[in-house]
Amino acid sequence: MKPAILVLADGTAFRGQALGFEGETTGEVVFNTAMSGYQEILTDPSYKGQIVLMTSTQIGNYGVSPEDDESRRIWAEGFIVREASHRMSNWRGRQSFEDYLLEHKIVSIQGIDTRALTRHLREKGSQIGVISHVNLHEEALCAKAQTAPSIVGRDLVQAVTCDSSYPWKEGSVSWCSNGNGSSPLKPDPPSSYKVVVMDFGVKHHILRSLVDVGCSVQVVPASTHADHIRDLQPDGLFLSNGPGDPEGVPYAVSTVKALLGWKPIFGICLGHQILGLALGLETHKLPFGHHGANHPVMDLRTRKIEITSQNHNFAVSLPHKEQEGALWAPQHFDTAIGRMEVTHRSLNDGCCEGMLGLDSPVLSVQYHPEASPGPHDSSYLFQQFIDMMKGVSHGG
């Protein structure tokens, strides 16, 4: 097999074998602890600017099914695996993992000690790296990694957002029917509420989940002005997931700030962080982020634990220091639209994972409730958004 190398900005090098498209790629190296879902990870726009390391030892053994793509293309800059499966075993699989990487021209590497790399990133933090099949000189690649742009402060959203507004009508039932050839047991529910989705890098299954609970969905580009969103006269506004630093998209923060208190708002992932900035909070970069399908989160109101899917390197900073013993109690803070409550926390590091407006219909979570790793631990959030819109439309 053709040799390949991964070199990090701190000079650490890992030698392995070439995988995927022959070439060279640069990005922030992050590790994902999910045991499956490699296709959804690769096509998640939130990974724009990043090279993804999978901690699971064998990747590709169930192949690729086109209907499982979460967006129009692969967005990850590169892929790192311990071993890529040369065979696929899946009745739905229509393409091998290796052919998938080749088709989308994704430079990847296999055969390295992924446990050692994961430990290194945990200790030293996520950092820029270079995968190369064409240049195996460590010093030259280290220099490239050191001079490559950081994701801090960059606007990565403009690369992944839609070019123009469009309606989305497919729900999970019609997707399953189209994807595996089976007949749906019932049609998608009728659309009762019009929702505008600000596309910061939205995943298809998020849009399906909104249709599933009775939303008529209109997706708009990330740079859409507040006045245009008002002209669409929606019942609610959804702020999607997306890549990079929320402070790199000040235009989106300004739009959300202008719409606070107007209609119910539901934000996830980057949308949660943008909402935080619009409310006057700050954000910060995590050492190595949260990437995986097995992250435990506590709902501070019910004390229930949700197993969540996550993909973010930034988080919302809370407005004041935690008092002794207050980490696992709901925390309240004041904003321009009234009181807000911290509703969810990460059990791994205490990170803010959710917020709720007490005086205004605002809801956000840091994780992906549509991804169903629990499998349905977080599906109530979409219904909570519906209830918010129902309450406003009924004057509640």
Active site residue 370: yes
Contact 284, 276 (CB under 8 A): no
pLDDT of residue 331: 84
- Active-site residue, selected from the candidate residues 70, 98, 353, 370: 370
Active site residue 269: yes
pLDDT of residue 330: 78
The stretch 114-140 carries a mean pLDDT of 97
Rg from Cα positions in the chain: 21
Active site residue 170: no
Residue labelled with tokens 């692969």:
74
Instruction: Give the least confident one: 182-191, 261-270, 315-324, 363-372.
Output: 182-191
pLDDT single digits (tens) 78-124? 999 999 998 999 999 999 999 999 999 999 999 999 999 999 999 99
Q: Does the pLDDT at position 10 exceed 60? A: yes
pLDDT single digits (tens) 140-189? 999 999 999 999 999 999 999 999 999 999 988 766 655 554 444 456 66
pLDDT of residue 70: 95
Q: Which residues contact 323 (CB under 8 A, 6 or more apart)?
A: none
Domains of the chain: 3-147 (3.50.30.20), 157-393 (3.40.50.880)
The pair phi, psi for residue 371, each rounded to 5°, is: -80, -20
pLDDT of residue 321: 57
Output the average pLDDT for the chain: 92
Nearest-10 crossing angle of helices 380-393, 204-212: 50
d(CA 156, CA 45): 9
d(CA 14, CA 16): 7
d(CA 233, CA 195): 9
> Residue 56 has what DSSP assignment?
S
pLDDT of residue 395: 56
- Active-site residue, selected from the candidate residues 215, 269, 351, 352: 269
Instruction: Give the least confident one: 15-29, 235-249, 289-303.
Output: 289-303
pLDDT of residue 179: 52
d(CA 68, CA 59): 16
Contact 364, 238 (CB under 8 A): no
Residue labelled with tokens 């969103």:
229
* Opening angle at CA 117, ends 112 and 123, nearest 5: 170
d(CA 179, CA 189): 19
pLDDT of residue 23: 98
d(CA 125, CA 329): 29
Top pLDDT among 196 and 294 is at 196
Closest of 289, 268, 304 to residue 376, by C-alpha = 304
pLDDT single digits (tens) 307-360? 999 999 999 998 765 544 567 777 889 998 999 999 999 999 999 999 999 999
Residue labelled with tokens 């890098």:
201
| Range list of β-strands (E), the chain | 3-8, 13-20, 24-32, 50-54, 58-59, 78-81, 83-84, 107-110, 127-132, 166-168, 193-199, 215-221, 236-239, 265-268, 282-299, 305-317, 331-335, 338-346, 352-357, 362-365
pLDDT of residue 1: 87
Q: Which residues contact 261 (CB under 8 A, 6 or more apart)?
A: 336, 337, 360
- At residue 391 the predicted structure's pLDDT band, cuts being 50, 70 and 90, is confident
pLDDT of residue 324: 43
